[in-house]
Amino acid sequence: MLLHSGRMEPAEERRLVSAAQSGDSEAFNRLVQSYQDQLYRLMVRTCHHPQDAEEVASEAFVRAYEHLRQFEHRSSFVTWLGRIATNLCFRRREKAELLPVSLEEQAREEDGRPGRMPAAEGLSPEQAVLKQEMKRKIRAAVAELPEPDQTVLRLRDIEQLSAAETARQTGFTVPAVKARLHRARLRLREILNGYFLED
């Protein structure tokens, strides 16, 4: 179960993070107890499902512990943790979107029938394939963006969060969110233009 979080002063957080980076597991446990409820609430809004939110929050702490030495105190620990969890949530949702197609193709192959992408309602098979290919290219293009610009783009353009909500989730100011979003959109356009020119 997720525990209730307590407020922590920046100096105390820095001390605990530094101790955890030196191998103090009890210090890391203190960070978990302080922030797991806050992270869970954030993931409920991002993942849109309580069970997914709890699993993602737990996995984020594991990832944070594994990569703790890479944390350089450029942001607060909870902001860094939130970015890890947000990315995990996005990956989980993308896999969930692709899973039904994969299962259907597998079933058709087992039945001896060639697997194919199901046609979207109102689209011809050719249009459905083109639409799926477009989605694949957009996902690949977004994945090429550097962090945290990628997270800002996902929250603003995919999750449809406001600039203020994105600022709260990432720890940036609203002007910084807008600047990163503008840069991410320009870079995304360049990548997608490259794909289309190749085609």
Give the tens place of pLDDT for each residue, 35-61.
988 888 888 887 777 778 888 888 889
The tally of domains found in the chain comes to 2
pLDDT at 18 over 90: yes
Q: What is the pLDDT of residues 115-127, one digit of tens each?
A: 444 444 566 777 6
Domain presence at residue 165: yes
Interior angle at CA 156, CA 179 and CA 76, nearest 5: 70
Let me know whether 129 and 66 are in one domain: no
Domain presence at residue 100: no
| Most confidently modeled range among 2-6, 106-110, 179-183 | 179-183
Let me know whether 65 and 19 are in one domain: yes
Q: What is the pTM of this model?
A: 0.52
* pLDDT in the model for residue 100: 40
CATH code, 178 = 1.10.10.10
Q: What is the span of the domain harbouring residue 22?
A: 1-89
